[in-house]
Structure 1
Amino acid sequence: MSLLETNLPAVPAPSPTQFITLTVVAIVLAALSILWGFVDPRLIEGVPVWMKPLKFALSFALLFGTLALVETRLSAPAREGWTMQITGWVMAAAFLSEMAYMMYQAGRGEASHFNLSTPFTELMYTTVMAIGAVALVVGTAVVGWVAKRDQAAALSPALREAIWLGFLLTFVLTMIVAGYMSVGSTRFVGLHPEGAPTLPLVGWSGVTGDLRPAHFASLHAMQALPLLALWLGRAGEANGAVRTIRIAAFGYATLTFAIFAQALMGLPLIPLG
């Protein structure tokens, strides 16, 4: 019997909660980006113009899907309370505004990130998108805090701790890494010549420092630690599971900072040339 099945309140039946709705919207936007990509062959810096909206839509789908899984395990008072409702609306506004701008820029064949070419694009990137990004990671931490405090939630002690620490790490680490990225004019630390080798699928530089691997790690602490808690539950590791999660959280943060430091030294995550 797993940690999730021992002395836990019954899991409420899934319902169309706010985060489930946002997950569906993100999936629809990802599908639209794929379809438009088939009929719009334009490139930005050698990358299809609709790749950016596609990647972000998929990332949002994973974010909101994770939040939805937590939301459905909360008790009704916590799930329906003002804290969760306001957090959901704020995150929805940030998500929709960011996706709208990225898709608008893709339609124009222009970059949405690191684009300071006009007062409008500078305002959107440095202010609107920056505020939206902060709102999204703050909202993630708030959901983790609600799960931590909701003692009636259908969560084992280890999973509760993993959600709280994972969501908190996503907030803290993303603020550090993404905050550093936002003040620069490029994602690279050093020179990445056009046509230089990159890692398959993700496109990270194989020849110079790239801040995106650390950003990726910071964003996905919120999935990594809860997955570890679920694995511990399946393995029947009840004793010391909370302590294991705390040690793993420290290790995950250390690894993320190591990847970040490697990029700052101008070194690729995996050298390719």
Structure 2
Amino acid sequence: MGVFALVSAGGILLDDRTLVGAPIWSKPFKFAVSFVAYSLSLAWMLSLLPRGRRTGWWAGTVVTATGVLEMVLITLQVVRGRQSHFNQETPFDSAVFQAMGITVVVLWLAALTIAVLLLRARILDRATAWAVRLSSLIALAGAAVGFLMAQPTPDQLSATDPPIVGAHSVGVPDGGPSLPVTGWATTGGDLRIAHFFGMHALQLLPLVLLVLAALAPRFPRLTDPLLRLRLVLTASAAYTAVFALLTWQALRGQPLLHPDATTLITAATIATLTTAATLLTLRGTPSAPSPTPPPTPRPSRLR
């Protein structure tokens, strides 16, 4: 994926072609960078398995193979100057997209196998165990948002043999006004936002553990295993709520940067509950007791 990212970055610099309102090489570049982060996180999680390592190895190998095949197909269509996703214009384009769909389903099932292994694994540190388990489940839900994009839009349903079936955007056509770099729609909903946010729970939730470990020398209470576990569960609940909100916002055809009152109230509620839960955790969890020094033996008296 690092090689794909370098090739795609070169394509962005040297190839001035655009597709659906974006540089034609931006899609493989974003996919490659995302796969780098996803694969590194998944490899670390597999290393935590005390049992089922052989099954985990096979599942990881399937994720690797299907990820590479997905990138090959995306890059093939870029070289041809064709849209890779949702393209039904010619029999070859349709076959490429169907092959991509199969690889995504197989990849998702392999990731599900790894998630099941992590749920059953006995990892000694409970905070790490639940950060890994919950992040893998949220990432699966984030990946599943991609299946919603393959559904035909109302305009496509009313058309006869449309060349494109499926869309990233909701309420507006793909290729309209968008945010820089990400390409997310600014005039309607965009399912890629929830897709991206959900999948990268695999990195962001374990990052909570790293932050807690970094702060522990200055705040000794953070060394308490129970406190770390409760903070990880709170962060996971907040992440799940935000993921659900982003999915709901996109499905209503609402731009990320132009939320309505309902979205703002829901976001404020999530922020308030998360803050309250964090404060209650910090106040309610007793600090780890300091070790009591052993008693100093008294010298015996000579008689």
TM-score by length of 1: 0.79
Q: Which of 171, 195, 219 does residue 215 from structure 1 map onto?
A: 195
Q: Residue in 1 aligned with 2:129?
A: 160
The question of 1:101 aligning with 2:73 is answered yes
What CA deviation, in whole Å up to 9, does each residue of 1:65-119 have, x standing for no partner? 11122234444x644x2x0221122112211211111111000011101211122
Tell me, yes or no, if structure 1 residue 243 matches structure 2 residue 230: yes
Q: Give ranges in structure 1 of 5+ residues lacking alignment.
A: 1-25
2:244 aligned to which of 257, 267, 270: 257
For residues 171 and 22 of structure 2, the distance between their equivalents in structure 1, rounded to whole angstroms, comes to 20
SS at match of 2:179: coil
Aligned-residue CA RMSD (Å):
2.3
Matches within 5 A, 1:6-45: 26-45=1-20
| Equivalent residue, structure 1, for 2:285 | none
Give the whole-Å Cα distance in 1 for the aligned partners of 2:25 and 2:206. Answer: 31
Number of corresponding residues: 239
Map 1:163-202 to 2 at 5 A: 163-175=132-144, 177-184=145-152, 185-192=166-173, 196=177, 198-202=178-182
Runs of 4+ in 1 over 6 A off after TM superposition: none
Tell me which of 97, 100, 106 is aligned to 1:135. 106
Once the two structures are superposed, residues 99-146 of structure 1 have per-residue CA deviations (whole angstroms, 9 ceiling, x without a partner) of: 111111000011101211122222332x32122222323333333333
SS at match of 1:101: helix
Q: Determine the C-alpha separation between the residues in 2 that align with 1:123 and 1:165.
A: 35
- The letter of the residue matching 1:229 is L
| Paired residue secondary structure (2:225) | coil
- 1:38-86 alpha-carbon deviations (Å, 9 max, x no partner): 33221112322111111111111111111122234444x644x2x0221
1:115 aligns with 2:93: no
CA distance in 2, matches of 1:253, 1:123: 35
- Picking from 26, 30, 34, the partner of 1:55 is 30
Contact 2:179–2:186 (8 Å) recurs in 1 = yes
Tell me: CA distance 1:101–1:158, structure 2 relative to 1, closer, same or farther (3 Å): same
User: C-alpha displacement at 1:194, in angstroms?
Assistant: 5.7
Residue 148 to residue 229, structure 1, CA distance change in 2 (3 Å) = farther
What is the TM-score with the length of structure 2 in the denominator?
0.71
Specify every segment of 5 or more residues in structure 2 that has no aligned partner in the other structure, as ranges: 153-165, 217-221, 260-303
Secondary structure of 1:186's counterpart equals coil
Query: Which secondary structure does the structure 2 equivalent of 1:266 belong to?
Result: coil
Among candidates 214, 224, 232, match of residue 212 of structure 2: 232
Identity %: 33
Offset at residue 148 of structure 1 (A): 4.1
Larger radius of gyration: 2
- Structure 1 residues 124 and 192, CA gap change in structure 2 (3 angstroms): closer
Per mean C-alpha deviation after superposition, the further-off stretch among 103-112 and 252-261 is 252-261
Q: How does 1:74-85 map to 2 (within 5 A)?
A: 74-75=49-50, 78-79=52-53, 81=54, 83-85=55-57
Q: Distance in 1 between matches of 2:210 and 2:113?
A: 21
Q: Residues 190 and 255 of structure 2 are in contact (CA less than 8 Å); yes or no, is this contact kept in structure 1?
A: yes
- 2:186 counterpart of 1:206: yes
Separation of aligned partners in 1, 2:211 and 2:112: 23
Structure number with greater CO (CA < 8 Å, separation at least 6) is 1
Shift of 1:233: 3.4
User: What residue identity is the alignment partner of 1:122?
Assistant: S
What's the CA shift for 1:195? 5.5
